[in-house]
Amino acid sequence: MAKIEPSQARIASQVPRRERPEKAPEKGRSLVLDDLLAVVHDMRKTYHLPEARFGLEQIEQEAGAKSAAERIVRSTLVRHAPAIYSKPDPMFDKICKVRRGKRINKPWLYSGWRIPPAHAAHVLRLLLERALQTIVQLPKKWPPLKDGTRELKLLALHCEKLAKEIDGVFKRREVFDRASAYFSESHRPGLDQFFRQAEELQRAAETARAILANTRVVKQKTDSPNPQVSFALYLIGWFEASTGKKQYVPFKTLLDAAYAANEMDPPPWVDRLEIEMTRHRARRKAWAKSITVSSAPPIPSKSLQIPT
């Protein structure tokens, strides 16, 4: 896990003079950690990721990784400290109690706590560590898309099987006599409908098969087919927004180090982060264009568009 060093507790005040902004951060330039936290937790929960066997301390043992992490954290602090906010999260409890910070509660805007300035660098390092661990632990492919095909096939089979069983039972004389006696004595209508249950089930089976045969799922590519790439690009984009600078170089160093810390060779996409980001933006742009009413052609009623 991330090792807390005394020197890092004062990282905000130790920014070299040449890297200090000439002016104080603009009023209202705050940073909220909630979105990144939510994505990290969602990824780990979705894929049932175990606790990683490596942390930022092991990552920083690789060449250039320590300076890369410090650069990202320092740039974030210079731009946003002390206005860094978050909702309480168990991951931060090992460093500080978020609720001890200043509370901000603006209805319809945001409700959370300011990270205590003395712990801001530690919190960012821990968040960076958790994100890097998640990228390395993620699978290389998304789970299969559920489009209802399997469920419709099973429904058709079950309906057809039950229809045959019902038809066989209703053809027996004793069953017909008892049913007729029940409806005549109770003066209830519906005898004919009762004996048409097999036909209705057979019709349901045929309808399910017709749906399968006459509809299709259009899988539109809005993201990388590799979850590792997808989350890595999100992380890079998040820190690019938080620092105001492109972060491809330091993140290449950190990703190489993270895979090495987990005794794995870095995948080829780590060397082409900018290219992957360009592809990602192109996919999103194409998808957005396809769902824009003014620019997209009419979607046939028999097609379903599901972003992937």
Name the least confident of 81-90, 138-147, 152-161, 200-209. Answer: 138-147
Name, in order, each residue with C-beta under 8 angstroms of 120's C-beta and a sequence gap of 6 or more. Answer: 12, 77, 81, 82, 84
Name the least confident of 20-34, 40-54, 116-130, 234-248. Answer: 20-34
CA–CA separation, 294 and 83 (whole Å): 41
The β-bridge partners of 105 are: 111
Q: What is the model's pLDDT at position 220?
A: 65
Which range has the top average pLDDT, 6-20, 155-169, 246-260?
A: 246-260
Terminal Cα-to-Cα distance of the chain (whole angstroms)? 33
Tokens 């999100």 belong to: 234
Query: Band of the pLDDT at 167, cuts 50, 70, 90?
Result: confident
The pLDDT > 90 percentage for the chain reads 40
Give burial (CB, 10 Å; 0-12/13-18/19+) of 297. Answer: exposed
Residue 32, amino acid: V
Residue 73, token pair as written in the block:
């954290």
The mean pLDDT value for 160-184 works out to 85
Mean pLDDT of the chain: 81
Query: Band of the pLDDT at 253, cuts 50, 70, 90?
Result: very high
Query: E-strand spans in the chain?
Result: 31-32, 84-86, 103-106, 110-114, 216-220, 303-307
The mean pLDDT value for 86-97 works out to 82
Structure-model confidence comparison of residues 3 and 207, the more confident one = 207
Q: What angle do CA 62, 67, 71 make, to 5 degrees?
A: 140
Residue 258, token pair as written in the block:
């993270």
Q: Do residues 201 and 288 make contact, with C-beta atoms less than 8 angstroms apart?
A: no
Closest CA to 132 of 242, 34, 252: 252
Residue 151, token pair as written in the block:
């469920």
Question: How far, rounded to the nearest angstrom, does the alpha carbon of residue 107 sit from its chain's CA centroid?
Answer: 27
The β-bridge partners of 31 are: 84
Residue 145, token pair as written in the block:
């898309």
The pLDDT tens digits for 273-303 are 999 999 888 888 887 887 775 444 555 545 4
Name the least confident of 34-38, 166-170, 302-306. Answer: 302-306
The mean pLDDT value for 77-91 works out to 88
Residue 109, amino acid: L
Query: Quick check: 138 pLDDT over 60?
Result: yes
Using CA atoms of 262, 12, 244, 129 in order, give the dihedral in degrees to the nearest 10.
20
Helix (H, G, I), strand (E, B) or coil at 107: coil
Structure-model confidence comparison of residues 130 and 106, the more confident one = 130
Q: Do residues 260 and 68 make contact, with C-beta atoms less than 8 angstroms apart?
A: no
Q: What does DSSP assign to residue 63?
A: T
The model scores a pTM over 0.85 = no
Tokens 């938080």 belong to: 242
The pLDDT tens digits for 185-208 are 777 777 788 788 888 888 998 998
Residue 244, token pair as written in the block:
């105001």
Alpha helix (H) residue ranges in 138-247: 149-170, 173-185, 191-195, 197-214, 227-243
Q: What is the model's pLDDT at position 27?
A: 46
Polymer length in residues for the chain: 308
